[in-house]
């Protein structure tokens, strides 16, 4: 899950999905070629790339007669691109909110996302990052997903680019639970395991949670992963996840595992935002080589300092504050740190204008919320968008369906502004939850600022 707290979803079985494949992956390439019909039942659309950048590939398999088509992103730093032979690799599992078909939401949170946000990581990250994307409407716990993921891991190893003794696994929230499960399903493969805010892994259902998201832990999972170096990170204010993380830590400690638990005081669910941007996180991973003693032993205090120390990001901190003032209850990812971003008292004849820019030419700035429409009430999303120094692209997605795609050009605005409302529907006898996403993208070759004079849900 990204900036929003979302319930995990349980799905039984996979529906038939028709997908596309990449023949020649390159940096930031979108998969466009149709899947061949004569390949083995489990295969990748192409071999793992060697060039720096973020390549989007596809993985295909069949579970109980149902086809599975999964996008995955391979992120390679400039440092890894210069390595000869086999390279270290990190397998990352996203949270419950980043499912999809095109890999875009992989860049909401996690190592690949932080590579795009932090130039030093993009230059020097010491390992290839592989980020599979769960198909939409499904979850990592869906029936058959464990088998699909285990086959995926087997195919990665067979590719030959990955160093088998320096293969690591990580995940956040629901993806943290999947990292546990993947390590248990393939216990001899990984050199180390790190999870941030991992979802519940209990032998018995938690009575405080709705029955729909009880995730009983296989009774053998602790025994299967206890031989790995393990680092668990959780925010103390996210009480459920912190309690379950502590339960897992206690069980692993009792089993004799080399495990560290870092609980961050004052942090809520997004503990990974302090973890994945830091080079020390990857140094902890690479200190472990399968079958060898650690090259460096980090103390519990050292790891807690890594996990708990806030990032030095004054522009980003101001953006968070400005957005909370401009549009309460909305969150934002992947906004450029250009000096003009943030809340302006007056701009283009409007007061209180939020100026935003996409992170880069291929990664949109995403503003998102989950809104509860009261029972018996109708709601609309009201957006007023303006054009500053050039054109930009506005997209609005409601409940995973695109409802608006508009290029904000001089011809598209009246007196500098494009004013629109998006119907969110009426809640019947019960409140209705609606997920909203506003995407700000670059239009053409010239980046331009996006101006928002209004972003508000109006209850009618």
Q: What pTM was estimated for this model as a whole? A: 0.84
Question: Are 271 and 233 spatial neighbours (Cβ–Cβ below 8 Å)?
Answer: yes
pLDDT the model gives residue 244: 84
| End-to-end CA, the chain | 30
Mean pLDDT of 170-192: 92
- The CATH number fitting domain 314-459, selected from 2.60.120.260, 3.40.50.261, 3.30.830.10, 2.60.40.10: 2.60.120.260
- How many whole angstroms separate alpha carbon 302 and alpha carbon 279? 13
- Most distant CA atoms of the chain, gap in Å: 68
The residue ranking higher by pLDDT, 137 or 16, is: 137
| β-bridge mates for residue 337, sequence order | none
Phi-psi region of 68 (alpha: psi -120 to 50; beta: other; left: phi over 0): beta
SS (H, E, C) 376-444: CCEEEEEEEEEECCCCEEEEEEECCEEEEEEEECCCCCECCEEEEEEEEEECCCCCEEEEEEEEEEECC
What architecture does CATH give domain 20-308? 3-Layer(aba) Sandwich (3.40)
* Region of poorest pLDDT, from 33-47, 79-93, 254-268: 33-47
> Does residue 22 surpass a pLDDT of 70?
no
Q: What does the angle CA 42 – CA 48 – CA 52 come to, to the nearest 5 degrees?
A: 155
For the chain, the structural domain boundaries read 20-308, 314-459
- Which residues, other chains included, contact 36 with Cβ-Cβ below 8 Å and sequence gap of 6+? 21
Mean pLDDT of 121-127: 95
The residue ranking higher by pLDDT, 155 or 10, is: 155
Mean pLDDT of 205-217: 49
pLDDT the model gives residue 26: 37
């Amino acid at each position: 899950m990204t900036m929003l707290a979302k319930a995990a979803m349980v799905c039984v079985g996979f529906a038939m999905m028709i997908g596309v494949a990449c023949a020649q992956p390159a940096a930031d390439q979108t998969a466009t070629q149709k899947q061949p019909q004569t390949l083995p039942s489990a295969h990748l659309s192409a071999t793992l790339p060697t060039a720096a950048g973020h390549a989007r590939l596809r993985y295909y398999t069949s579970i109980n007669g149902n086809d599975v088509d999964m996008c995955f992103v391979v992120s390679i730093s400039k440092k890894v691109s210069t390595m000869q032979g086999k390279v270290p690799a990190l397998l990352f599992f996203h949270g419950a909110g980043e499912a999809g078909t095109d890999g875009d939401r992989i860049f909401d949170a996690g190592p690949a996302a932080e590579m795009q946000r932090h130039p030093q990581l993009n230059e020097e990250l010491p390992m290839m990052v592989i980020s599979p994307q769960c198909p939409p409407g499904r979850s990592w716990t869906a029936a058959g997903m464990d088998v699909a993921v285990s086959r995926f891991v087997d195919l990665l190893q067979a590719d030959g680019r990955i160093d088998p003794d320096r293969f690591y696994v990580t995940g956040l929230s629901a993806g943290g639970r999947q990292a546990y499960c993947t390590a248990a399903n393939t216990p001899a493969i990984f050199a180390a395991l790190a999870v941030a805010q991992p979802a519940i892994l209990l032998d018995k259902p938690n009575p405080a949670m709705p029955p729909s998201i009880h995730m009983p832990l296989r009774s053998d999972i602790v025994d299967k992963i206890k031989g790995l170096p393990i680092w668990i990170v959780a925010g103390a204010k996210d009480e459920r996840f912190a309690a379950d993380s502590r339960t897992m830590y206690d069980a692993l400690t009792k089993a004799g595992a080399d495990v560290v638990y870092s609980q961050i005081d004052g942090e809520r669910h997004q503990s990974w935002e302090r973890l994945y941007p830091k080079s020390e996180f990857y140094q902890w991973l690479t200190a472990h080589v399968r079958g060898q003693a650690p090259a460096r032993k980090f103390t519990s205090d050292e790891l807690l300092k890594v996990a708990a120390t806030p990032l030095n990001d004054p522009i980003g901190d101001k953006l968070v504050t400005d957005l909370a003032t401009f549009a309460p209850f909305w969150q934002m990812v992947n906004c450029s740190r250009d000096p003009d971003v943030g809340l302006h008292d007056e701009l283009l004849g409007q007061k209180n204008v939020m100026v935003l820019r996409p992170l880069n030419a291929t990664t949109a700035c995403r503003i998102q919320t989950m809104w509860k429409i009261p029972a018996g009430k109708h709601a609309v999303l009201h957006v007023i968008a303006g054009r500053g120094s050039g054109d930009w692209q506005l997209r609005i997605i409601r409940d995973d369906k695109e409802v608006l795609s508009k290029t904000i050009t001089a011809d598209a605005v009246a007196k500098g502004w494009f004013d629109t409302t998006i119907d969110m529907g009426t809640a019947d006898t019960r409140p209705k939850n609606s997920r909203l996403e506003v995407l700000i993208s670059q239009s053409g070759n010239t980046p331009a600022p996006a101006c928002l004079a209004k972003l508000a849900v109006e209850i009618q």
